[in-house]
Amino acid sequence: MGKSQELFDRACQCMPGGVNSPVRAFGSVGMTPRFIKSASGDRIRDVEGKEYIDYIGSWGPMILGHGHPAVLEAVEKAARDGLSFGAATQREVEMAELICEMVPSIEMVRMVNSGTEAVMSAIRTARGYTGKDKIIKFAGCYHGHTDTMLVQAGSGILTQGIPGSAGVPVGCTKDTLTATYNDLKSVEELWNANAGQIAAVIVEPVGANMGVVLPEPGFLQGLRDLCDEKGGLLIFDEVITGFRLAPDGAQGYYGVQPDLTTFGKIIGGGMPVGAYGGRREIMSLVAPCGPVYQAGTLSGNPVAMAAGLAQLKMLQKTPDFYRTLNDKADSFFEKLEQILEDAVVPHCLNHVGSLGCVFFTNRDVKNAADAQTSDPSRYQDYFRHMLDNGIYLAPSQFEAIFVSGAHTDEDLEQTLNAVSTFVNL
């Protein structure tokens, strides 16, 4: 691992923590990060030349696998046409039309450059539409690193053990209220205590930044009903679940339509991109049509749009893709569950479709507090063992396993065999 260590040492001299995003630092697993050189299908290769079966997939967007030929061809063609124009292009129109076609709750959509930017803009739009200031979010749900949302956020915040973030003024978070995931009563109590002030509830329809935490039956519909009853908007943060669980995301999978939806890099085939959209009457308030300002030179970047169009069209024109992927993932997680059960390992395995997570705890995980009962030392041992056996998992307990269409039965079996050797050590 000499070259990864050498690169990390160099990176630490010129980049905070040696990385450009905290979880990559491998801090919670006590290791030096692997520096990745290339990827194809369900495999990634590091600078030492070691190959791994990849269950991160750039944190979700590589649902077709790395380097899908249709996506690569689209990117190469678009790059030859020009990398960026700062002007309107045909591809961004086609992308907007395709998103509106695939997701029934969206009538208008605005492209941005990341999931963080999409959430920031959706919240501003919700406030502009309702004329109210307060937002309800859920402990453990991560909605990007804008000041407003860094309140009991999940993912890297949980991994680092940081309660929020330095540099965020109290005034930026005073209008952010935090409820408990899967607890409708906690939402109603906040709403009643702030009557007439709630602009929106924002939620990951499947919690995927505190590990994977599924919505209990009735939870999402209950949020929809509360928003309708009390006059606020419902925002689904589908940066992880969008186009992952179904062609119309978690909202289609669970049959609950939000007012606004945010997407991330899956609509760019893994390239830097995001989007937010919803009902026409709401989105018509966004500049230049209305008074809610949002802009970006690289929004709708032609190369990112080309990659995303190629990927989404592949998903759209392959009717059996999601059924096949979800069936394959269900079988994988069921076998994983059986291995852990047979070995009498304290655990909770949550999964839906091609998203899953193993918590090393003896209780069901239904919210952030439950997730934090997972044994971090056990996860560290698990992660190290799997990495040594050529399996690349998230270097954090509080992230998801992503199964892609490129994962073969043989690779899934290899992964299960590695788990078996771990629990029997």
Token pair of 174, please?
A: 């005073």
pLDDT value for 145: 79
Among positive and negative, which fits the CA dihedral 172, 143, 392, 66? negative
Question: For 382, phi and psi rounded to 5 degrees?
Answer: -60, -50
Q: Which tens digit of pLDDT belongs to each residue from 360-389?
A: 999 999 999 999 999 999 999 999 999 999
Q: Are 97 and 107 contacting, i.e. CB atoms less than 8 angstroms apart?
A: no
Sign of CA dihedral 311, 313, 314, 320: positive
Dihedrals phi, psi of 350, to nearest 5 degrees: -105, 135
What is the per-residue pLDDT across 3-23, written as a single tens digit (0 to 9) for each? 999 999 999 999 999 999 988
pLDDT in tens, 136-163: 999 999 898 776 776 655 454 443 334 4
Q: Which residues pair with 198 in a beta bridge?
A: 134
Q: Phi then psi for 160, rounded to 5 degrees?
A: -80, -10
- pLDDT category at 67 given cuts 50, 70, 90 is very high
CB 243 within 8 A of CB 102: yes
Q: What is the pLDDT of residue 173?
A: 75
Work out the percent of the chain whose per-residue pLDDT is above 70. Answer: 95
* Residue 25 token pair: 């630092």
Angle at 59 between CA 57 and CA 64, to 5 degrees: 35
CA of 365: how far to CAs of 96, 172, 190, 341, in Å? 37, 30, 23, 16
Least confident of 31-35, 65-69, 315-319: 315-319
Amino acid at 260: L
Tell me, rounded to whole angstroms, the distance of Cα 37 from its chain centroid.
Answer: 23
Catalytic residue IDs: 142, 237, 265
Confidence of residue 76 (pLDDT cuts 50, 70, 90): very high
Q: Running DSSP on this structure, what letter comes out for residue 425?
A: -
Domains of the chain: 2-67+320-423 (3.90.1150.10), 69-316 (3.40.640.10)
263 pLDDT higher than 60: yes
Say how many C-beta atoms besides its own lie within 10 A of residue 334's C-beta: 11
What number of other Cβ atoms are within 10 A of residue 278's Cβ?
28
pLDDT in tens, 286-331: 999 999 999 999 999 999 999 999 999 999 999 899 999 999 999 9
Whole-structure pTM value: 0.94
